[in-house]
Amino acid sequence: MSTRSNIAVDKDDGSIIRVYCHFDGYINEGVGQILHNYYNDKDKATSLVSKGDISELGTDEEHTKFYKDRGFSWGHTQEDWSSIKPKPSASEYSMMNELRGDLFIEYLYYFATCEHIPEGQWYVSESKFLDTAEIDINAYHSSLHYWTKFIPLEAFFTEKE
């Protein structure tokens, strides 16, 4: 079983690029911790995402398993770059809108810069579900899917006093 995630980076023009990561998407001891420990600057984050979709994230690009490098799969002799290249979004709002309904992505990691943190930092949003029976609505679907607000990834690794 895999814990799927997306990894995104903002670009200088305000747009965003993101890739899919298949394995170990959870925060602790997974993609979150690896991004926090080994890709914690904009150059490293951008370089990683520019290489396309990821099967398994490593502590550096050499040890990361990119879909583009895996060769034969599902009847193809090599992966089609158009299906595994970074996906562009015009803005954070656009990216979140594009992820609506993608129920199998559990975490979204986003390296963002802002006025207050110009060097940038990692943030994480989690995919959540509400059981419609719990909120007492008569609906066709048994649950509602949403994404949490972004939280600085650093908050999960700061020592508690």
| Span 36-43, average pLDDT | 95
Cβ of 104: how many Cβ atoms within 10 Å? 9
Report the pLDDT value the prediction gives residue 161, as an integer from 0 to 100: 42
66: left (phi over 0), alpha (psi -120 to 50) or beta: beta
Cβ of 21: how many Cβ atoms within 10 Å? 30
Q: Using one digit for the tens of pLDDT, what is the confidence trace for 88-144?
A: 999 999 999 999 877 789 999 999 987 777 789 999 999 988 766 666 566 565 667
Residue 31 has pLDDT above 50, yes or no: yes
- Contact yes or no for 5/108 (Cβ under 8 A): yes
Residue 74 has pLDDT above 70, yes or no: no
Q: pLDDT band at residue 154, thresholds of 50, 70 and 90?
A: very high
Residue 15 has pLDDT above 70, yes or no: yes
CB within 8 Å of 114: residues ≥ 6 apart: 120
